[in-house]
A and B are shown apart, each in its own frame.
Chain A
Amino acid sequence: MKRFDYASPRSLEEAVQLKSSHPQAQLLAGGTDLLVQLRARRKATDLVVDIKHVPELNALNYDPARGLTLGAAVPCYRIYGDPAVRRVYPALAEVANLIGGTQIQGRASAGGNLCNAAPSADFIPLLIALRATCRIAGAGGSRTVAVEDFCTGPGRNVLQPGELLVSLDLPRPEPHSGARYLRLIPRNEMDIAIAGAGVAVVLDDGVFRSARIALAAVAPTPLYVREAGEALAGKPVNPESIQAAADFARAAAKPITDMRGTATYRRHLCAVLTRRALEAAVQRARETR
């Protein structure tokens, strides 16, 4: 790696100040993307700011009234090891346990996965489905952005120079709701999705009250397919409604052909994964009170 300086701020104020005075600084949480990119010279920096010791970025709190606050630097193993996350957001625990292998999960964070803004990022479709919002801090104060509006292109996001992601905030799931993320990878583990679908549904007496669906690896950014979820609202919970939503997802996908899969195959996967994820989310919603 090229030489850089290192700072390890202990407070959010200090971290924001460092980021403001060094717009080119790169933030380090688990390093599982950043250190690979610095080594491969896909990114360059003269300052790495290790944000793991900032309390707000390390928070993992569930409050039945306010929902989940997931600090941007919290590693995967803490997410799936947290009893409240497993109970209230089981799909989130599953994704944390799906990314990379054990060693990667010891370091990689949901916030890092989001900021890295890969179209194939596994956390992002589910965060969108779960209505997560990003709390962003900067010298001028803080602002909130919906996760579906955060990524602007491959490896690009809405963070302005001097800003940093503090936490992801997930509302408390409604009664009779369920969520699921499914992806297809060529290997059993440790691979990048050819396509993925994250869904969340709220049921009301045999009818979909609402649904949200987002896709991975089929567009320049993780893709929120608003119309696929809206198509389900008010519809009976049956295979026809679910297939119709899956068809919306297929139609919304804008995939490319690359070494992982063809555009045709990816479109097909969008429908299959969306259908299966919806079926699993419905099952989950029926099992929860």
Chain B
Amino acid sequence: MNHVRTTINGEAAEFLCEPHQSLLECLRDILGLTGSKEGCNDGNCGACTVILDGRIVNSCLVLGVEAQGSEITTIEGIARGSELHPVQRAFLEQAALQCGFCTPGFIVAAKALLDQESSPSEDRIRLWLANNLCRCTGYDKIVRAVQQAAARMEERKA
């Protein structure tokens, strides 16, 4: 067993895990943070996307032990209390989800994009989200939601 100390969604979090357990397994099965989803478990679908030390990664392709000392943001840390993040609100308003399984990954990835670029082009959004698969929406509504969130966040800054 390894003792891993991290910061998850702004709070200190420690857990015990075996070296072969993925970060996704640690989040879901040990810490009870089940918002991150296991889709393909091989890095293709992006449903398990989390922000690890400022970069989005597929948490199924990270070992829990690798997270030692790192800072992690999961879908559970995107809203501020009961106030949804602009990306979350835009997903609801644009109906950018149907079954919802891919949604946590998309929202975490989109939030990370808007943290570093305030008004990405449609092409930029599609490229950034290429590692997130959605089998329901056809992506257009997701892209529109990210554009709407970007516009709202800009307005708020102005």
Contact = CB atoms under 8 A, between A and B. Distances in A.
Interface of A: 1-6, 8, 28, 30-32, 35-36, 38-40, 48, 50, 52, 77, 100-104, 106-107, 188-190
Given A2-B20, A4-B20, A102-B130, A35 B63 contact: yes
A35 B22 contact: yes
B19 A48 contact: yes
A190 B44 contact: yes
A99 to B, nearest CB: 11
A107 B19 contact: no
B62 interface: yes
Interface in B47-100: 49, 52, 55-58, 60-63, 65-66, 68
Q: Dominant SS at the A interface?
A: loop
Contacts of B61: 30-32, 35-36, 107
Interface residues of B, number: 31
Q: Which 4 A-B pairs have the closest CB atoms?
A: A101-B131, A6-B19, A189-B130, A106-B55
A106 B19 contact: no
A107 B57 contact: yes
A117 B104 CA distance: 34
B18 A103 contact: no
Contacts of A32: 43, 58, 61
Contacts of A28: 63, 66
Contacts of B19: 3-6, 48
Contacts of B62: 31, 35, 107
